[in-house]
Amino acid sequence: MYEKEIGMTTPELKPNGEKSRIGVYICHCGTNIAKTVDVEALREFAEKLPDVVAARTYKFVCSDPGQKMIRDDIQDPDLKVNRVVFVGCTPRLHEMTFRKVISEAGLNEYYLQVANIREHVSWVTPDKEEGTEKAKALLAGAVRRVHEHEALEQRRVPVNPDVLIVGGGIAGITAALTIADAGKKVYLVEREPSIGGYMAKFDKTFPTLDCSACILTPKMSSVKSHPNITLWAYSEVAEVDGYVGNFKIKIRRKPRYVDEDTCAGCYDCVEACVFKKPKFPDEFEVGMGLRKPIYIPFPQATPLKAVIDPNTCLQLTTGKCKQSCAEVCSKNSINFDQVEEIKEIEVGTVILATGFKAFDPVRSPEYGYGKYDNVYTSVEVERLCNAAGPTGGNVVLRDGTTPKSIAIVHCVGSRDKKTNAWCSRACCMYSLKLAHLVKERTDGEVFNFYIDMRTPGKSYEEFYDKILDEGVHFIRGRAAEVRNWALDEAEEGKLVVRAEDSMMGVVRRIPVDMVILSVGLEPHEDANEVARMFNMSCGTEGWFTERHPKLAPVHTFTDGVFIAGACQGPKDIPDSVSQAGAAASEVLALIDKGYIELEPNTAFIDEDKCSGCHTCIALCPYTAISFNEEKGKAEINEALCKGCGTCVAACPAGAAQQHHFTDDQIYEEIEGVLEYV
């Protein structure tokens, strides 16, 4: 009955006047599809549909032999396939692959339709019979739709060779230098007053224990002096417009109240501040040190410029201050009237390297952070270990004494369903590093409480061995709690870490002077907002979503926007640097190619139907529609149209139409699906 109906409703000739000769290619995708969809039944079903001249199945249609099968059918003098339906995975994965295949065989690449029976059927339908039926409906819809496809040509637009990099941690710095060294102009935008990110806070890096500053600060300095890099610290992306090759971006430069061009970074203003002593928690020192309202984040800050905190500066909060900072400045750089500035730039590509946020252990109250003075986060201890830190590299407690026993609690805010389910990947290694540094500086006993030791990296396991040899204690068991309560005299005045030692099968209480919580990595709170701004997505956890977890790890689903470093998922320095290099090379490849192809799925106006009501003009987010006074009709500028479809949906007369998404195409697809159902 179905075949009869479909025969009746399908016109014989298609837009270009030729008769459709449809080839249907059904993919097993190994067992991904074949396990829950009867592909052979699907093939038999397809074969009987009107105008289908070839219906084939193959284990992997995307492979070379699979592609050849399609090409051969197109070029076969008897079959002469002129429309292709690929029935397999999502078009996001292989639509481009098969467009290329059919275009190589001489067909217009838009004579292709993809029916997604993997993500939409086999992966989400456990029942094979139901799966096969749904697949048939989708296949029928695709066959009906491809009848209506028109030959379309892609448009080429040049790629603007300038690049925006968001985030000035080690990933952003690496990408910026790579691209700038290749002769391209880079805008590097950093939210904090200085670039450097987390790496700038560390004393040593694992597994080589080389000095973090020694390998990072020369790179920071290169960024500052590079003729191809424009560095905007203390700035944020405010608005993103445009598309791959031609982004228009607004950058918000927050007021420093210090003229960045003239400030020499001499510290005179900091010394002259009416606050004689530092009084406010220092952000760079993660609260371990104090700063004044006017400050330079750290001596190697890049740019080395002072900044005034509007929340603590007397002049900016009360308007009453003798402004001794301004008085002493020989360059007259202090400017209390400075306001936010918006910079507009045009770039062709973007790399997001916005990094991560360290887990706040207040969310795991069992460990007593914030309640007991001697419970620290690992980031705080990084600062204690740092020769340039608040204690000059001495690991001492808040009362100035040196701890004789130290517990390092792993997986705080990681591998914990109550907080973050994921493994933060870097913590085992940085905990080993901290164990070494703390032991070296205190000569105390160090206890690591771990669930599993995860040291998969070059020379990582060897580093673990080395730390074991140093006499650091390892207790396998997630620490249950940290308490200041003494069971006996030996515990008096100590913090007690309680954990099940799963090697010994006993619950242990270890009294210590200091507890270090190895906090996990988590996405920034505003990661979703940033993702939305760049029209890309975050996973449920908040990490930016890569185009493919294995094969396109630095691409996003937005062309021209790449990601690098820990914003994509927890990562250590070596991995962040590798990704930054990968993202830079993807950017350079696009710039080198020089142009990008734009999808021809732009909207157009059927002038016979247009009543000139202006509805579409007001709605177009890209101001691509104007009103032709002479004709009294709307007119679409194809160069500006992004094919969003807003006008098509809104037009009361059905005059606004969209290439590759015409009403006919969509109705045919719907009818194909419904007729079968």
**Cβ distance to another protein smaller for residue 276 or 418:** 418
Q: How many residues are there in the chain?
A: 677
Residue 283 in the binding site for another protein (CB under 8 A): no
- Among 385, 427, 394, 421, CA closest to 408: 427
**Distance set, CA 479 to CA 450, 488, 499 (Å):** 8, 20, 4
Shortest approach of another protein to residue 284 CB, angstroms? 30
Name the token pair of 446: 């160090």
490 binds another protein (CB under 8 A): no
Angle 562-566-570 (CA atoms, 0-180°, nearest 5)? 135
Find the shortest distance in angstroms from Cβ 497 to another protein: 13
Q: How far is CA 107 from the centre of its chain?
A: 36
Q: Are 437 and 410 in contact (CB under 8 A)?
A: no
Q: Is residue 366 a contact point for another protein (CB under 8 A)?
A: yes
Per rule CB under 8 A, is residue 661 in the interface with another protein?
no
* 518 CB neighbour count, 10 Å cutoff: 28
Of 485 and 667, CB closest to another protein: 485
Q: Is 595 in the site for another protein (CB under 8 A)?
A: no
Q: Which is nearer to another protein, 375 or 573 (CB)?
A: 375
Strands 210-211 and 229-232: unpaired
Asked if 419 interacts with another protein (CB under 8 A), we say no
Using CB under 8 A as the binding rule, the residues of this chain from 600 to 639 that contact another protein are none
Find, among 297, 294, 341, the residue nearest to 317 by Cα. 294
Yes or no: say if 263 and 331 are a contact pair by the CB < 8 Å rule: yes
- Minimal distance in Å, beta carbon 366 to another protein? 4
Nearer to another protein, 370 or 652 (CB): 370
Q: Are residues 478 and 449 in contact, defined by beta-carbon separation less than 8 angstroms? A: yes
418 binds another protein (CB under 8 A): yes
Q: Can residue 126 be called a binding residue for another protein (CB under 8 A)?
A: no
Contacting range for another protein; rule: CB under 8 A; set: 18-26, 37-45, 103-111, 364-372: 364-372
**How many Å apart are CA 275 and CA 282, to the nearest integer?**
14
Is residue 124 part of the contact set for another protein (CB under 8 A)? Answer: no
Residue 159 or 407: which CB sits closer to another protein?
407
172 within 8 A of 565, measured Cβ to Cβ: yes
Torsion on CA atoms 381, 570, 418, 500, rounded to nearest 10:
-60
Q: Give the residue, chosen from 30, 156, 225, 485, that forms a contact with another protein under the rule CB under 8 A.
A: 485
Nearer to another protein, 7 or 365 (CB): 365
Binding of another protein by 370 (CB under 8 A):
no
**Closer residue to another protein, CB minimum distance, 145 or 483:** 483
Rounded CA separation 335/326 (Å): 8
Number of H helices, E strands in the chain: 18, 34
Q: At 381, list the tokens.
A: 């201890």
Find the binder of another protein among 342, 487, 504, 589 (CB under 8 A). Answer: 487
- How do beta strands 229-232 and 186-189 pair? parallel
Nearer to another protein, 126 or 621 (CB): 126
- CB 519 → another protein: shortest distance, Å? 17
Q: What is the identity of the amino acid at 324? A: S
Closest contact distance (angstroms) between CB of 117 and another protein is: 24
> Should residue 365 be labelled a site residue for another protein when binding is judged by CB under 8 A?
yes
Binding piece for another protein, criterion CB under 8 A, among 184-192, 478-486, 555-563, 575-583: 478-486
The residue type found at 183 is: G
* Cross-strand bridge partners of residue 239: 250
Among the listed residues 483, 555, 571, 659, the single contact to another protein using CB under 8 A = 483
Given the complex with another protein, which of 219 and 483 has the nearer CB atom? 483
Footprint on this chain of another protein (rule: CB under 8 A): 364-366, 418, 481, 483-485, 487
